[in-house]
Each structure stands twice: as structure tokens, then as C-alpha cells.
């Protein structure tokens, strides 16, 4: 491979970086995808309309006994992981406060509340009862509810505990039983619906979620989105404009749906195989409903079940959840690399208790694993460097005859036993590892607010106090760019001045890209550059020693 071809390969790799890291800026559903979404929505509407036209024979309704509605009051559930506040009017969530996570890194920062004040009116964890077609009841708005229990306080070793809310809405009696676990974010629901009218109905029950944005609106690397898993695989929609104007409608075998960011999620897990999902965004609130169809016969109790997972994207906890909820944390194409890298990262953290140091140790291990490949790569570069004067003479001699120049150049490489691919392929092999670590560090909840160096030395200025956020002063990206420039100067240069200028632009391009990256990733790339420079210096020194010895 000629030097020009090597330049083209490097440029292609840079473009690959730009494409992959810029994906979240420019991705949008294709026309075919939009058409498919519209088709699914129409199917769901037709199905609902068909159900509304089915009417069962009338029978005498049974009277309701001992139901006394009460005014909505707050009901608190306190566990080691969270404090949840429900409203007895329908059993909807007012707050869901995570005890182990703060809004910011400030000492007086409040804990994360995944619901938010504005989402309460949208009925998070509410029930929507359909009596066929578009006849829907938001039961927390149009029902009367009673609650006779007490607040729950759960210790780490307690058994599960329950809350029960009883209500009437639109001629139906509803009994909601919520089961809480002290050691997970899972909440299981059993809802029993009794038709108190004299007419049977083909309808449905929807389990709902509503939450404020779990990330900043302009955070392209950590967007709040609606994700779901069906038998066709995992999909997601993060475009806020599309969620507001079009929404999503999903049919098929739904395993779960979730409002999520990189670090938090509000998921609904249906028990029925034919559940449907609908979702969207309104008034800056993300909303989602998982619907299960049901036949409500007069005076017959119908029980439907679903589960909620409201909390952090703790992978160990998600791995224990039903319906493959662990797929809510997904690292894309590099999932198979990102997860083992996170296991290694947490292994080191268990000893050093600092994720910045853990990243450094992981970087060293990765470098050692790739050391033989890097050694071959840099060794090949040294050999190529020695041949540059000869290649330059060949260019002068055969510059107008490209075919002859290629033949003579390859003959030169063959004579000196130099593999022109040797300097490229070992580096290409390492690119997926970089992307895997990029996705891992971007999506690992462990890195959120994890400090490396809390302050700029000898000052009170916060610096690398959050490895999931960018370097506030851009110190590490700039140093990283300098190390890339040094590497570039140590690499054999192309004979074409234009190509040399293009290669020298690479450090500038990468520095610009890394300005907004999580500081944990910049630390990795910076240290990797420093180790690579050291390795190149070792090889260059060994080569000079060998030449001096032979002389």
C-alpha cells in the first residue's frame, strides 16, 4: 500500500469518527420508517374501532358495597433506594425521589426526582380504562377513590409490602394493589376491574408513565427518549419534535417500554403477550401508555397485571428484571465490547475507589493487550521512515508513470521485507475498542458525578469532579490534542506537502471533537497517546542502538 493509500485510510477513519459521534446530531427516521409508524398507528386505531362495535348481552349489575370515596391525600413509600409519594386519588405518583443520586455535584444539591412537578397532572402510574373505541377514562381524573392503609417504611431486609387503592369510574370498580421491594426499583401491580353496568364491553386497560426530561434538552450525547423492546428488537425515539407532533404507536409482542436517559428510566413491563404501546411528549413531559385488551363482563372481576421499574440504569439490578429489561441499557454496535470493559472498570474501582484511577488502570491493561500489535505497527513505521529517501527518489524518477512507480515501490518494500500494511492494520483493530469504551463511559451510571480530581490543584475550582461531563476548562482535550500532534510528528510523513498538511489537521479535528466528550473518555485517550509516544520512543531508540551496533 502506497503512502497515499495510507493517508486515505486514516482520513476514512477520521470520517468514521465524525459519522459515529455525529450520529445523534443528524439521525432522523427515514421516509420508510415514518410510513411504517403511521401504518402501525392506523392499525391500532382500526383495532380499537372494531372492538368498540362489539356489545355483549345485558345482565343485571351488582350493587357496590361499603365504598366510601375519600379526598386525595399523599401516601409515602420509603425504601432504602427511594422515597415515593402517591396520591390516593387514583394511586398516581406525585414524586419519586432517588436516595443515591443528586441533581448536580453541588454539596447542597437535592436528590433526583424522576417525576417532577409538571408531570403529576399527566397521571404517572395512573390507569386509563377504555370501554371500547375512543371512550377512555383517565381514572384519576374522573373516578372516586378510597384508601384506608398507611404509609410504608421498608428496611433493607424487609419482605415485600403492598398498598391498595379502591375506586369507581364510569360504572366500573377498580382495585389496585401495588407491591414494593426493598432492594430493587421494581413495583408490581395487580388491578382488578369489575363491570358494574348491565352491559358487557370489549375494552382495555392502560398502565401509564409520565416524567420530566431526564437530561438537558440540548444534551445530544444523553437525550431523554422513549425506548421499547418487541420481537423485532429494541428501538427508540429521541427526536422531541417527532414525539410532540407524531408520537409513537407500537404493536406486536411488547416486552417493555420506557422513558429513559443514559442514567435513569421509567419502564412499564406488561404481562400480556399482545400489549400495545403508545407514547409522545406534551408540555415538556414525556408520556407513555402500555395497553392490554380485556373483555369486561357484567358483575365479573377481570384481573390485569403489569410491573414498573423506576430508578437508575443499574445494570446488575436490570439483569434480574423480567422481559429482558436489561436491554434498556444498550451500547449499540459495540455492546459486546462495552459491557466487558465496564466489568473491568468496576473491578479496578473495587480496589482504588476512584473511577479516574480505574480508567487509567484499564487503559494500561488495554495497552498491554495490544502491545504486540502496536509494536509491529510502530516497528513497521520505523522501517518505512528509513525507506522514505529511497521512495522520494523513485517519485522523482517515475513521477509521471504511476504504474511503474507502484511497481518499483512495491519491489523496494519486498527487497527490504517491509509490509506496507503493517503500520495500518494493527491500529485499525484497536478502533472498535475505542468506540466500545466511548459508549461504555457515556452510558455507565457509575460514572455519573464520579470524581477524579475534584478541584484544580491549589484552588477551590471544580475540575474533573464528574467523569460523565466534559472538562469545564478544556484542559485535558487540549493536552490530548498536543499529544496527538507529537505522535503525528513522530510518524513518517508523506512526500506530498498537501497530504502532510491534511495529516497535521487531524490533531486539531480530534481536539475539537473531544471538547464536548465526557472527561473520563478524554482521560483514556490522553493516557493512551502518552503510552503510545513512550512505545514509539522505545522502538526508535532500539532501532538506533541496532544501527550503531551493526556499524
What would the pLDDT profile of 209-262 be if each residue is shown by its tens digit?
A: 999 999 988 888 899 999 999 999 999 999 999 999 999 999 889 999 999 999
* pTM given for the model: 0.81
Confidence label for 497 from pLDDT (cuts 50, 70 and 90): low
Confidence label for 537 from pLDDT (cuts 50, 70 and 90): confident
pLDDT in tens, 345-362: 999 999 999 999 999 999
Do 151 and 77 touch, CB atoms closer than 8 A?
Answer: yes
Question: Has residue 191 got a pLDDT over 70?
Answer: yes
Question: Has residue 506 got a pLDDT over 50?
Answer: yes
- Mean pLDDT is lowest, of 76-85, 191-200, 263-272, 540-549, for 540-549
Q: Where in the chain is the domain with CATH 2.70.98.90?
A: 72-330
Of 117, 63, 64, 68, nearest in space to 88 by CA: 68
Question: Has residue 1 got a pLDDT over 60?
Answer: no
Element (H, E) at 93: strand 92-102
Task: Look at 398 and 122; give whichever has higher pLDDT.
Answer: 122
Give the percent of the chain with pLDDT over 90: 53
Question: Has residue 483 got a pLDDT over 50?
Answer: yes
CB atoms within 10 A of CB 82: 24
Give the pLDDT confidence score for residue 48 in this predicted structure.
38
What whole-number distance in Å separates Cα of residue 261 and Cα of residue 214? 6
Confidence label for 376 from pLDDT (cuts 50, 70 and 90): confident
Give the pLDDT confidence score for residue 321 in this predicted structure.
97
Bridge-based pairing of strands 152-153 and 74-78 is parallel
Which residue is listed with cell 363491570?
A: 195
Has domain 72-330 been given CATH number 2.70.98.90? yes
Give the pLDDT confidence score for residue 547 in this predicted structure.
59
Confidence label for 420 from pLDDT (cuts 50, 70 and 90): low
Q: Once rounded to an integer, what is the mean pLDDT over residues 272-284?
A: 93
Give the percent of the chain with pLDDT over 70: 81
pLDDT in tens, 103-125: 999 989 999 999 999 999 899 99
Question: Has residue 95 got a pLDDT over 90?
Answer: yes
Whole-number average pLDDT of the chain? 83
Dihedral Cα 210, 214, 216, 217, nearest 10 deg: -30
Give the pLDDT confidence score for residue 64 in this predicted structure.
45
pLDDT in tens, 142-166: 899 999 889 999 999 999 999 999 9
What whole-number distance in Å separates Cα of residue 181 and Cα of residue 188? 9
Question: Has residue 304 got a pLDDT over 90?
Answer: yes
Confidence label for 72 from pLDDT (cuts 50, 70 and 90): confident
Question: Has residue 540 got a pLDDT over 80?
Answer: no
- Mean pLDDT is lowest, of 86-90, 472-476, 539-543, for 539-543
Which residue is listed with cell 381514572?
A: 139
Give, as one character, the DSSP assignment of residue 72: -
pLDDT in tens, 12-64: 445 544 444 443 434 334 434 443 443 444 344 434 333 333 333 333 334 44
Give, as one character, the DSSP assignment of residue 494: P
Rounded to 5 degrees, φ, ψ at 200 are -75, 150
Question: Has residue 5 got a pLDDT over 70?
Answer: no
Question: Has residue 319 got a pLDDT over 90?
Answer: yes
Q: Hey, what's the cell of 542?
A: 532500539
Query: Whole-angstrom distance between the N-terminal and C-terminal Cα of the chain?
Result: 31
Q: Hey, what's the cell of 539?
A: 522502538
Do 208 and 306 touch, CB atoms closer than 8 A?
Answer: no
Give the pLDDT confidence score for residue 32 in this predicted structure.
41
What whole-number distance in Å separates Cα of residue 451 and Cα of residue 359? 12
Do 266 and 260 touch, CB atoms closer than 8 A?
Answer: yes
Question: Has residue 337 got a pLDDT over 70?
Answer: yes
Amino acid at each position: 500500500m502506497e503512502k497515499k493509500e495510507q493517508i486515505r485510510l486514516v482520513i476514512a477513519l477520521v470520517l468514521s469518527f465524525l459519522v459515529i459521534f455525529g450520529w445523534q446530531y443528524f439521525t432522523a427516521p427515514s421516509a420508510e420508517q415514518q410510513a411504517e409508524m403511521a401504518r402501525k398507528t392506523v392499525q391500532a386505531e382500526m383495532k380499537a374501532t372494531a372492538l368498540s362495535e362489539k356489545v355483549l348481552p345485558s345482565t343485571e349489575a351488582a350493587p357496590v358495597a361499603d365504598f366510601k370515596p375519600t379526598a386525595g391525600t399523599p401516601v409515602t413509600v420509603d425504601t432504602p433506594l427511594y422515597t415515593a409519594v402517591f396520591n390516593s386519588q387514583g394511586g398516581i405518583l406525585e414524586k419519586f425521589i432517588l436516595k443515591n443520586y443528586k441533581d448536580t455535584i453541588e454539596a447542597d444539591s437535592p436528590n433526583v426526582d424522576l417525576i417532577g412537578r409538571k408531570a403529576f397532572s399527566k397521571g404517572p402510574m395512573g390507569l386509563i380504562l377504555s370501554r371500547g373505541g375512543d371512550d377512555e377514562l383517565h381514572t384519576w381524573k374522573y373516578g372516586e377513590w378510597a384508601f384506608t392503609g398507611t404509609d410504608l417504611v421498608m428496611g433493607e431486609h424487609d419482605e415485600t409490602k403492598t398498598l391498595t387503592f379502591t375506586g369507581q369510574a364510569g360504572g366500573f370498580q377498580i382495585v389496585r394493589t401495588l407491591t414494593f421491594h426493598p432492594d430493587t426499583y421494581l413495583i408490581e401491580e395487580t388491578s382488578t376491574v369489575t363491570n358494574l353496568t348491565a352491559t358487557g364491553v370489549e375494552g382495555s386497560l392502560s398502565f401509564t408513565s409520565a416524567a420530566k426530561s431526564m437530561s438537558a434538552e440540548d444534551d445530544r450525547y444523553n437525550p431523554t427518549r422513549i425506548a421499547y423492546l418487541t420481537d423485532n428488537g429494541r428501538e427508540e425515539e429521541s427526536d422531541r419534535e417527532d414525539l410532540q407532533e407524531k408520537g409513537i404507536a407500537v404493536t406486536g409482542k411488547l416486552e417493555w417500554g420506557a422513558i429513559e436517559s443514559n442514567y435513569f428510566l421509567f419502564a412499564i413491563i406488561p404481562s400480556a403477550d399482545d400489549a400495545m404501546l403508545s407514547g409522545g411528549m406534551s408540555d415538556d413531559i414525556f408520556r407513555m401508555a402500555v395497553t392490554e385488551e380485556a373483555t369486561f363482563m357484567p358483575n365479573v372481576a377481570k384481573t390485569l397485571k403489569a410491573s414498573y421499574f423506576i430508578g437508575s440504569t443499574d445494570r446488575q439490578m436490570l439483569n434480574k428484571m423480567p422481559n429482558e429489561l436489561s436491554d434498556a441499557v444498550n451500547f449499540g454496535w459495540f455492546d459486546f465490547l462495552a459491557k466487558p470493559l465496564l466489568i473491568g472498570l468496576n473491578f479496578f474501582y473495587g480496589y482504588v475507589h476512584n473511577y479516574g484511577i480505574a480508567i487509567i488502570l484499564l487503559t494500561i491493561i488495554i495497552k498491554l493487550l495490544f502491545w504486540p500489535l502496536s509494536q509491529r505497527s510502530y516497528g513497521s513505521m520505523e522501517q518505512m521512515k528509513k525507506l522514505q529517501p529511497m521512495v522520494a527518489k523513485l517519485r522523482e524518477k517515475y513521477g509521471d508513470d504511476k504504474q511503474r512507480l507502484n511497481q518499483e515501490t512495491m519491489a523496494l518494500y519486498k527487497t527490504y521485507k517491509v509490509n506496507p500494511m503493517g503500520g495500518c492494520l494493527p491500529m485499525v483493530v484497536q478502533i472498535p475498542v475505542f468506540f466500545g469504551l466511548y459508549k461504555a463511559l457515556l452510558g455507565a451510571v457509575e460514572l455519573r458525578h464520579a470524581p477524579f480530581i475534584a478541584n484544580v490543584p491549589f484552588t477551590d475550582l471544580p475540575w474533573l469532579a464528574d467523569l460523565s461531563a466534559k472538562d469545564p476548562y478544556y484542559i485535558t482535550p487540549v493536552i490530548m490534542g498536543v499529544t496527538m500532534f507529537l505522535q503525528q510528528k513522530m510518524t513518517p510523513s508523506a512526500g506530498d506537502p498537501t497530504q502532510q498538511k491534511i495529516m497535521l489537521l487531524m490533531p486539531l479535528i480530534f481536539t475539537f471533537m473531544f471538547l464536548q466528550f465526557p472527561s473520563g473518555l478524554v482521560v483514556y485517550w490522553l493516557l493512551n497517546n502518552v503510552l503510545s509516544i513512550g512505545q514509539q520512543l522505545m522502538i526508535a531508540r532500539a532501532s538506533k542502538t541496532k544501527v550503531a551496533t551493526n556499524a
